[in-house]
Amino acid sequence: MSIIHRPMRHGDREAVIGLLMQLAAHEAALSPTRASGPATAQALLEADSAQTRDRAGAQFVAELAGTCIGYLALRLGHTGPYVHDDLRDHVLIENIVVDAGRRGTGVGQMLLAQAERFARDNGCKALQLGVLTGNDPALTAYRRAGFESLSIEMIKRLD
């Protein structure tokens, strides 16, 4: 059987929430700033759905034998004048996750290729995404797909 990628459907919601629970738990293990659990996963899906609806984006799943094993949410974005004109209009990857048992099998690369097609189809010459410090497997996968570091976000907790 082969893996297919397709637009997310309403019937995929529970499976995608399960994938987003995995993502939230993974990120919570990397950073004390990250929330996890079912409510967080549900909120992530709601935020992704709103962003994709309001900003001309899309949500995709990777499916194997009728089971969702990956998820991608992306949207159009616009960066300010501090970058070159041709890079201002871009596609922002809001969330990307592959089922823990399928990581390292090329599913993430397939989803990233879908993001690139979406960007090209929308006339964008850049993809952007965020990755947590310490998420070395994701950094390796993104670099393999041609991404390079752009900036570092920092946080200072205030009492």
Residue 75 neighbours by CB distance under 10 Å: 21
CATH code of 34's domain? 3.40.630.30
Q: What is the pLDDT of residue 33?
A: 92
Predicted confidence (pLDDT) per residue in 22-81, tens digit: 999 999 999 999 999 999 999 999 999 999 999 999 999 999 999 999 999 999 999 889
Q: Does residue 85 lie in a domain region?
A: yes
CB atoms within 10 A of CB 68: 21
In a domain, 94, yes or no: yes
Q: Is residue 39 part of a domain?
A: yes
Q: Determine, yes or no, domain membership for 77.
A: yes
Binned at pLDDT 50, 70 and 90, residue 151 comes out as confident
In a domain, 9, yes or no: yes
The answer to whether position 159 is within a domain reads no
pTM above 0.95, yes or no: no
Decide if 28 is inside a domain: yes
The string of pLDDT tens digits covering residues 30-39 is 999 999 999 9
Range of the domain at 64: 4-144
Is residue 126 a part of any domain in this protein?
Answer: yes
DSSP 102-136: GTTTTHHHHHHHHHHHHHHHTT---EEE---TT-H
Domain count, the chain: 1
What per-residue confidence (pLDDT) applies to 150?
85
